[in-house]
Amino acid sequence: MAGKGFKVAIIGCGFVGASAAFAMSINNLVSEMVLIDVNKEKAYGEALDINHGLSFVGQMNVYSGDYSDCKDCDIIVVTAGANRKPGETRLDLAKKNVSIMKDITANIMKHYNKGVILVVSNPVDILTYMVQKWSGLPANKVIGSGTVLDSSRFRNHIAGILNVDVKNVHGYIIGEHGDSQLPVWSATHIAGTKFDSYISKNNIAVDKDKIIADVKTAGGVIIKNKGATYYGIALSINRICESLLKNYNTIMPIGTVVNGPYGISDVALSVPAVVNGNGCEKILEIDLTDAELKALLYSADQVKLVLDEVKN
């Protein structure tokens, strides 16, 4: 049964937005879901398609709308954006999406009266930072999907190598959702047993560098094979939304504007945080080795370099 009373807007109904809407409908997470896209036909078609499956999952009000429907939303998910065109650099794309996101934020804020903005569009760290500044909302109310997907890929790789249930694998990728991200090996454990201890006790040879390389290139491999990535991120979005709506206090590496923790300031990136109805309730300062902290600070600097370019 629906009727939990939650309302979510999804802005951008391409591969990612539509898949996230589908995932949320299967989980019957909300009672009202509005799909918004500059391509109105696309949003209408996606809403209609999802409606036709509701008899199998439960009643929800799923429709296409406009920015005025952002009023009363508990979460506004933003997955709108351009993709990289041939010959375009990452920086060109960043500038283009910053400009798209500025318009979207202004449109959201005309009608915003409550809720959390969840930024998914890339470059997600840059856009999370900019949306928080432009919206004028407190930092806890604007979060990014950050490295939630990368961490899921990390856990999936490890589960495959160790042949254990992925739910028994705990670990984070933190920092940039991009090349400078880093694994927190020192905090990675298998059902409570530290990773290094688990592999040595079980005599399993592991190439840690390969795991990290595979996590970093996973998106590219999927794009090469099927053109875009959307199921993994859709389920990441569904999980973040569930934690927000159900006030779960879930600890996950969402993207957030960091000011102070780990000695980092004025940049958005991913660190483990408590996620509940308030959005990013609290950033956790977990124990890092010196090398991990150094890598996190390097990652923050890398994000700042791009921020400096796009801010001007």
Task: Give the residue numbers annotated as catalytic, written as ranges.
Answer: 177
Q: Please say which residue, 62 or 162, places its beta carbon nearer to ligand 6V0.
A: 62
Asked if 35 is part of the footprint of ligand 6V0 (rule: CB under 6 A), the reply reads: no
Other beta carbons within 10 angstroms of residue 116's beta carbon come to 24
Asked if 124 is part of the footprint of ligand 6V0 (rule: CB under 6 A), the reply reads: yes
Asked if 156 is part of the footprint of ligand 6V0 (rule: CB under 6 A), the reply reads: no
The token pair that represents 255 in the structure block: 């993207």
Asked if 299 is part of the footprint of ligand 6V0 (rule: CB under 6 A), the reply reads: no
Kindly indicate which of the ranges 36-44, 55-63, 163-171, 188-196 contains the residues binding ligand 6V0, using the contact rule CB under 6 A.
Answer: 36-44
Asked if 12 is part of the footprint of ligand 6V0 (rule: CB under 6 A), the reply reads: yes
In whole angstroms, what is the distance from residue 246 CA to residue 230 CA? 24
Angle of helix 90-111 versus helix 290-311 axis, rounded to 10:
80
In whole angstroms, what is the distance from residue 282 CA to residue 273 CA? 6
Q: Please say which residue, 80 or 139, places its beta carbon nearer to ligand 6V0.
A: 80
Asked if 104 is part of the footprint of ligand 6V0 (rule: CB under 6 A), the reply reads: yes
The token pair that represents 174 in the structure block: 């933190």
In whole angstroms, what is the distance from residue 247 CA to residue 127 CA? 25
Asked if 149 is part of the footprint of ligand 6V0 (rule: CB under 6 A), the reply reads: yes
Q: Please say which residue, 134 or 230, places its beta carbon nearer to ligand 6V0.
A: 230
Q: What's the Cα-to-Cα distance from 147 to each of 40, 100, 111, 141, 273, rounded to whole Å? A: 30, 22, 29, 18, 12
Q: How far is the CB of 280 from ligand 6V0 (least distance, A)?
A: 16
Other beta carbons within 10 angstroms of residue 58's beta carbon come to 14
Residue 244, C-beta contacts closer than 8 angstroms, at least 6 positions apart: 74, 75, 116, 118, 275, 276, 277, 279
Q: Please say which residue, 103 or 207, places its beta carbon nearer to ligand 6V0.
A: 103
In whole angstroms, what is the distance from residue 215 CA to residue 163 CA? 18
Q: How far is the CB of 271 from ligand 6V0 (least distance, A)?
A: 16
Asked if 175 is part of the footprint of ligand 6V0 (rule: CB under 6 A), the reply reads: no
Residue 236, C-beta contacts closer than 8 angstroms, at least 6 positions apart: 145, 148, 149, 152
Asked if 213 is part of the footprint of ligand 6V0 (rule: CB under 6 A), the reply reads: no
Residue with tokens 């629906």: 2
Residue span 220-259 as binding mask against ligand 6V0, x where in contact by CB under 6 A, dash where not = --------xxx--x--------------------------
Kindly indicate which of the ranges 76-84, 152-160, 263-271, 281-289 contains the residues binding ligand 6V0, using the contact rule CB under 6 A.
Answer: 76-84
Asked if 128 is part of the footprint of ligand 6V0 (rule: CB under 6 A), the reply reads: no
In whole angstroms, what is the distance from residue 233 CA to residue 304 CA? 24
Q: Please say which residue, 16 or 24, places its beta carbon nearer to ligand 6V0.
A: 16
In whole angstroms, what is the distance from residue 284 CA to residue 239 CA? 19
- Give residue number: closest CB to ligand 6V0: 14
Q: Please say which residue, 12 or 199, places its beta carbon nearer to ligand 6V0.
A: 12
| Binding residues for ligand 6V0 (CB under 6 A) | 11-17, 37-39, 42, 79-81, 83, 100, 103-104, 120-122, 124, 145, 149, 177, 228-230, 233
